[in-house]
Structure 1
Amino acid sequence: MSDNTKKVVTVNYKLFKDNAEGELIESTEGKKPLVFLTGVQQMIPEFENNIKDLKAGDDFAFGIKSENAYGTRREDAVIELAKDMFMHEGNVIEQLVVGAILPLQDQNGNVLPAKVLSINEETVTMDLNHPLADQDLYFVGKIEEVREATSEELDHGHAHGPEGHQH
């Protein structure tokens, strides 16, 4: 996969905190493999860089430092929002609970996941930092397939799996 732009890559992987002996964060084991289009910022750039020369059947194991993964936790990403933003038909939405991850939309229409830190009488404190900010990552896995992207996938900017359209 030396020319790693605009390829569809299918991988099975395990993601650990810090190193191979760290806590398991997520895994495709027992689930569908991850299918993604390279070169369109779907994945952490360092992840793509580490697999760019691999082909189907190759195993991989590598670490990514937090600054090259989901970045450093920023205090200015903890924000206060008016509680009335979370109202529907006169009531606070039931999803608004401490610890919940809720989708917020910025002024440009981008959806950002935000964690509810606290709920007060008038405001809600939300953390827009990625849940894995400040976290070193370690990936172990196998490349299942590498193929050319179809023109439809290139137009849409993401891979379509065997079942068709995927997001």
Structure 2
Amino acid sequence: MKIEPQHVVSLTYDLYVDQEDGSEALVESATQEQPLTFLFGAGQMLPKFEENLSTLSTNDTYDFRLTPEEAYGEHDEEAVANLPLEMFQGADLPEIGSILPLQDNNGNHFQGQVVSVAEDSVIVDLNHPMAGQPLHFKGTIINVRPATAEELSHGHAHGPDGHHHH
């Protein structure tokens, strides 16, 4: 079956990023046993990722690259936040390199990586961990099926075969 909007796609992927020495490093994978399953066209995935898959069908393999602009954007030096230490009262201070779940004034959730801890604030890098990096995806389309009415109303897939909320 061909991939189309309002279809649920299950696929394997290996995601590679470029290393400074010119080689590629595998940073994420989805396997046959644990595939990535998503509702195509629902805006959950990178638009260019979906665009590259849009001509494929079950059992097709793919291999494509996304530029940083097509993926998570360029690394933005300005995208840092100073969080006052008061925010962490009663909690341990985060370690450098740890990822903090944050929320902005509009209620949007995002993650920041702690880059330093100063006397009165914690400095967090708000860039996506893969910002500024071209992404190289390789994988196979395992399954394509029409989404159920429930999946469409919820806007996301319920597992490879669809599942019911208990």
**How far apart, CA to CA, are the structure 2 residues paired with 1:85 and 1:50?**
42
**Contact between 1:18 and 1:63, CA under 8 Å: does it hold in 2?**
no
Q: Where do residues 71-150 of structure 1 align in structure 2 (5 Å cutoff)?
A: 71-87=73-89, 91-93=90-92, 96-150=94-148
Q: Deviations over 1:44-68 (max 9, x none)?
A: 1111001111111101101111110
69, 72, 80: which is aligned to 2:71?
69
How far apart are 1:163 and its partner, in Å?
6.8
Q: Does 1:13 align with 2:33?
A: no
Specify the SS of the correspondent of 1:135: coil
How high is the sequence identity, in percent, across the aligned residues? 45
- Runs ≥4 residues deviating over 3 A: none
Quote the RMSD (CA, aligned, Å).
2.1
**How far apart, CA to CA, are the structure 2 residues paired with 1:62 and 1:3?**
17
Residue 125 to residue 30, structure 1, CA distance change in 2 (3 Å): farther
**Contact between 1:10 and 1:145, CA under 8 Å: does it hold in 2?**
yes
How far apart are 1:2 and its partner, in Å?
5.8
Residue 58 to residue 30, structure 1, CA distance change in 2 (3 Å): closer
Specify the SS of the correspondent of 2:78: helix
**How far apart, CA to CA, are the structure 2 residues paired with 1:111 and 1:5?**
26
**Contact between 2:3 and 2:9, CA under 8 Å: does it hold in 1?**
no
**How far apart, CA to CA, are the structure 1 residues paired with 2:99 and 2:138?**
27
Specify the SS of the correspondent of 1:76: coil
Residue segments in structure 2 that go unaligned for 5+ positions in a row = none
Compute the TM-score of the two structures, normalised by the length of structure 2.
0.89
**How far apart, CA to CA, are the structure 1 residues paired with 2:14 and 2:33?**
12
**How far apart, CA to CA, are the structure 2 residues paired with 1:163 and 1:64?**
30
Residue 137 to residue 80, structure 1, CA distance change in 2 (3 Å): same
Compute the TM-score of the two structures, normalised by the length of structure 1.
0.88
53, 57, 60: which is aligned to 2:59?
57
Q: Letter of the 2:24 partner, please give it.
A: G
How far apart are 1:14 and its partner, in Å?
0.3
